A and B are shown apart, each in its own frame.
Chain A
Amino acid sequence: MSTLPNIVVSVQNLVVGYAGQAVLEHINFEVRRGEVFAILGKTGSGKSTLLKSLIGLYPPMAGKVLIEGTNIGTAEGNERRRLLRRIGVLYQSGALFGSMNVLENVRLPLDAFTRLPEMAKDLVALAKLRLVDLKESAAKAPDELSGGMQRRAALARAIVADPAILFLDEPSAGLDPITSAALDALFKELSRDSGMTLVIVTHELPSIFAIADRVILLDAERKSIVAEGKPHDLRDHATDPLVRHFFRREAK
């Protein structure tokens, strides 16, 4: 196997926003292979918008995003397909398709990317469902599952094609602390056992301290990254009042 670049996501001078209005300007950061990288910020700081540019859903207003060296904004055809196979995305709502059962949902990336016997694909999907502890629910419809279970089923779908990078949009939003701690443990396991790189958008402090190796903090007023580093360092040593407010949960 050819050696893979150590930098998996490289964001260069990125400007993102809606309708001509920049939400974030001159964003530069890199994500290294195998790390758990968290994008933090208050509600409205543009973290979900940034994530959508990282996975190529929103075209950037300026700058570029390189995923394993390929510009995701300009890749087309086969190059884009190859790139999309390298990433998995867990959407905030789960985004499971209601017209299919859980197993069919999980199998979907395999159906899209490869031709294998149906049963082999089912077996792979079931193995992933077993990993997220949902194998009993394979034949159920998504709306028969609880919120936490839907999130886990969506996670199984995001990892079924063994992506190199997994993007997670607020994975614990709307979940109780116990369920979200269990999800965090699952993320940690994925990153440790399969060397997957995780890019997580969140504002949940407990998850950040539990799993993130490195974080960046975004701010809506300054429209930029206000801090970058290890979460514990930022909590203990930051001098910027904004960063201290965020990490110590102090209101201004």
Chain B
Amino acid sequence: MNSETNSSPGQVVHFELRKDGESRCVLVLAGQLDMDSAPWLWRELKQQLGSVHATTLEINTAGLTHYDSAGLGLLYFLSKAQMTPDAQVTLSELKPELAKALRAFSMDDYQAFQAQQPKKQSIAEHVGTGVINLASDLREMVAFIGQLASGLVALLCHPRQIRMGEVLRIFESAGVNALPIISLISLLVGLIIAFESAQPLAEFGAQIYIANMIGLVMVRELGPLMTAILLAGRSGSAFAAELGTMKVNEELNALETMGLDPVRFLVLQRLLASLLLTPLLTIYSMFTGVLGGVIVMLALGFTLPTILVQLESSVHIKDIVFGASKGFVFGIIVAGIACLRGLHTKSGPSAVGQATTRSVVSGILLIVVADAVFASLLFIFNK
């Protein structure tokens, strides 16, 4: 390695690493040092400089004919002894224009930048900010519920203020357009539950009770729950993104300065549409789910009258009312949470995405919590 010339592929840049005495090394660079050749040079030098133990390194730049910023970056990096931490590095035969170009670089800037990098938070800080965020979240939620309630009362006193066109538009986009997906999922869930239970029930000769089970499960639990979760994912996220984008585009500020309350102007229409359509969708989902179960039972050889009698004996009208009223509550939760998250969108490029995610996550969470409350209430009152 004592004195051989190395050339990059395409012969663009050459270097020669020479041992000049005991602890002195000379690196001669020639050719074009640019974005294409610099990475090759860096790789080669990393190998070769590692094996020489020099205390001084002289970089001769007389042969460099062309360079760009990337190449200069590497040269500056070398000249600051970043690849040879133990050596004193000097640049020799520096042409005036190269010296001038190198003056654009600054180690001080780099250190200043490093010092400005944000420090990592400690665990205590993480916990602290978490708690503060949670508290302010709760506060926001309580304030928002108050705003909603007062807005709703005001709106009921002056029903003309409801923008019916907007309510109908939301009804269509969040309700009618959701029918295909709700049909598909409810039907499949009904089918799956019926199929899964057919085998174990057959062992006891109790397959006829598939009807009882599917009726109760779909009407009381899965119908409302699946519908609400689908709505949270489909329409809740849309509400949050819509309001979030409006916030980012200053449309909400425009409303405020025109004396229009965003909650009354935007949120209440969505809430109204959602609390009206969720019970309807829920009932639709119950029937589609039961239909799925009925299809399986027909395939198992039961006749339709038998199945219907069995269903009638297990599902009562109060179960349907119970399921639909769950849907009503879930509708309020989905729309309320989504609009709250949308209105409280922060600034910055990822804010709308964050608001949407949070609306879906907390929407689904609260739906399941509310469902648990419903289940325990039913247990207590049926005793």
Contacts and interface: CB of A to CB of B under 8 A. Distances in A.
Contacts, number: 101
Interface SS of chain A: helix
A186 to B, nearest CB: 14
A115 interface: yes
B42 interface: yes
Contacts of B118: 139
A161 B73 CA distance: 11
Given A1-B66, A130-B106, A122 B350 contact: no
Interface in A90-105: 97-99, 103
Contacts of A122: 110, 113
Interface in A80-136: 85, 97-99, 103, 110, 113-117, 119-124, 126-131, 135-136
B348 interface: yes
Contacts of B116: 138-139
Nearest to A136: B112
Nearest to A126: B109
B39 interface: yes
B252 interface: no
A121 B73 CA distance: 7
A128 B69 contact: yes
B161 interface: no
A114 B105 contact: no
A116 B39 contact: yes
B46 to A, nearest CB: 9
Contacts of B65: 1
A130 B109 contact: yes
Nearest to A1: B66
A130 B104 contact: yes
A98 B39 contact: no
Select the residue from A98, A99, A162 with max chain B CB neighbours within 10 A.
A162
A79 interface: no
19 contacts: A114-B36, A114-B38, A116-B38, A116-B77, A117-B42, A120-B74, A121-B73, A122-B110, A123-B107, A124-B72, A127-B72, A127-B106, A130-B106, A131-B104, A135-B112, A138-B109, A138-B112, A160-B69, A161-B70
B96 interface: no
Contact of A114 (B35, B113, B348, B349): B35
A136 B109 CA distance: 8
Nearest to B40: A115
A143 interface: yes
Interface of A: 1, 85, 97-99, 103, 110, 113-117, 119-124, 126-131, 135-136, 138-139, 141, 143, 160-162
B314 interface: no
Given A98-B349, A119-B110, 12 more contacts: A97-B349, A110-B35, A114-B35, A115-B39, A120-B70, A124-B70, A126-B109, A127-B72, A127-B109, A135-B109, A143-B349, A162-B35
B350 A127 contact: no
B68 interface: yes
A139 B117 contact: yes
B82 interface: yes
B70 A114 contact: yes
A117 B105 CA distance: 15
A119 B348 CA distance: 28
Contacts of A126: 105-106, 109-110, 113
A121 B35 CA distance: 11
Interface in B101-130: 104-107, 109-110, 112-113, 116-118
B76 A120 contact: yes
B313 interface: no
A119 B106 contact: no
A106 to B, nearest CB: 11
Interface residues of B, number: 32
Contact of A116 (B73, B105, B109): B73
B2 interface: no
B186 interface: no
B113 to A, nearest CB: 5
B348 A85 contact: no
A53 B349 CA distance: 27
B32 interface: yes
B3 interface: no
Interface string B36-68: 101100100000000000000000000001101
A243 B141 CA distance: 59
Select the residue from B35, B105, B113 with max chain A CB neighbours within 10 A.
B113
A98 B348 contact: yes
Contacts of B39: 114-116
B376 interface: no
Contacts of A129: 109
A121 B39 CA distance: 11
Nearest to B35: A114
B347 interface: yes
Contacts of A124: 69-70, 72-73, 105
A3 B70 CA distance: 21
Interface string B162-175: 00000000000000
A117 B32 contact: no
A176 to B, nearest CB: 20
A115 B42 CA distance: 9
A117 B349 CA distance: 29
B103 to A, nearest CB: 9
